[in-house]
Each structure stands twice: as C-alpha cells, then as structure tokens.
Chain A
C-alpha cells in the first residue's frame, strides 16, 4: 500500500468537541509517533509508542491521548479540543527508535 496513511486530511472542529485522528502504517514498524507542526516551531513530539501495547509522552502531551492496540494503528485523541490545538498533525513510524522515520501526509486541524 502507501506506507503511512492519515485521516482525515483536514477538519474544522468546534471547541470542546472530541476528535480522533487516525494513523495506519503497513510497514510493520515497531515504533510510531505523533507530532504537531506550528509555524516557526518545527515539529514537536506529542506521544510515541516503541512497540504495540506501550505508549509514552513526548514534549507536548497535554490534551492528547493515544493507544496502540496493534502494530499498524496509532490513533491520537483530543478529548476536548481547544483553539491552541489548531495545527498540522503528522504521524510517523520507524523500525526502531534509532532509525529513519517515515511520515504520513498530515492532518490539518482548525479548532474554533
């Protein structure tokens, strides 16, 4: 297939609503990551998973949660969206924590 897919491509969300961003990889990579990209700040790590069944907090985890029930999927949930979560969200995966990361196309989220 395509490596890493993300859905939706873009979304406008009312503040206070719950939203799950989906990420699926078909490379059988052990590690997966969620980043947010804001203008002038580069990418910042939100959460990561080194292997199925485990997750960890990144640099900016507040307001977000993740789960890793299997190798392929790594959904990111915003329990109650706030305008400061307006950003572009990228999912990535790698064979191991030291390896090259492969990125999905991103989800553009606008919280009003």
Chain B
C-alpha cells in the first residue's frame, strides 16, 4: 500500500509566489525523496533528505523533515511557469528498502 500522502492534491499560484506542499507517511524511513513529473514525461529526482536530517536546500527548493510527526514539506520559492508539474514524495522504508510513492501534488504556475 502507498506510504506517502501529499497535500494539497492541487495548487495554483502566480509566477513569483512560493509553493508549499506537504507529505505524510506511516512507517519508519531511511530517507525521503521528492520527484517532479512534467505532463507525459518520466519522473525527475529533485532532492533527498535522510532520516537524520531536518532541512535541506537545493537552489530554489527547501525540504524539511519531521520524523516525530512523520511528515515532510517541499517549498519552491519564486516560482516560474516552468515549475508547473506534478510533485511526488517517496519514502524509502527501513524494512525493505523500497520506495513508496504518494499520489502527488499538481502545481500550476500562472504567468
């Protein structure tokens, strides 16, 4: 069964605004990863945060992880039209080292 759940399911923002999406999961994890999928394309890895890390940055991306609440957030700052995509969180479970994906958040950035 799916481990992660993203919230919200969909998000529409103006170019230049920040976009925040959340991910909750159920079991203990080794790491949590965020992926982006443009319409009709494969997934592209964005960032990985390990279970012993609390925050990580990569360019305009900021990821936080709270293992006590079993939740993570992805912040995209100063959004651009090219950020329009679906974003998925994926958790690497400690019991079998398999990635479990959520259903994703669809982000639309309006010009």
Whether A100 and B33, one on each chain, are in contact in the complex, defined by CB atoms closer than 8 angstroms, is yes
Whether B42 and A105, one on each chain, are in contact in the complex, defined by CB atoms closer than 8 angstroms, is yes
* A42-B102, A43-B88 given; 16 more Cβ-contact pairs under 8 Å: A41-B2, A42-B101, A44-B2, A45-B98, A59-B1, A90-B42, A97-B97, A98-B31, A98-B97, A100-B33, A100-B48, A101-B43, A102-B45, A103-B42, A106-B41, A106-B42
Interface residues of A in 59-112 (CB under 8 A from B): 59, 90, 92, 97-98, 100-106
Which 3 pairs, one residue from A and one from B, show the smallest C-beta to C-beta distance?
Answer: A103-B42, A97-B97, A42-B101
Q: How far is the CA of A104 from the CA of B31 in the complex (A)?
A: 22
Given A59-B1, A97-B97, A98-B92, are A42 and B42 also a contact pair (CB < 8 Å)?
no
**Closest B residue by C-beta to A39:** B103
Whether A42 and B45, one on each chain, are in contact in the complex, defined by CB atoms closer than 8 angstroms, is no
Whether A42 and B41, one on each chain, are in contact in the complex, defined by CB atoms closer than 8 angstroms, is no
What size tier do the contact residues of chain A reach? 20 to 34
Q: How far is the CA of A98 from the CA of B93 in the complex (A)?
A: 9
* Interface secondary structure of B, over-half rule: strand
Residues in B with CB closer than 8 Å to A102 are 45
Residues in B with CB closer than 8 Å to A34 are none
Q: Is A40 an interface position by the 8 A CB rule?
A: yes
Q: Is B99 an interface position by the 8 A CB rule?
A: yes
Q: How far is the CA of A92 from the CA of B103 in the complex (A)?
A: 18
Whether A45 and B99, one on each chain, are in contact in the complex, defined by CB atoms closer than 8 angstroms, is yes
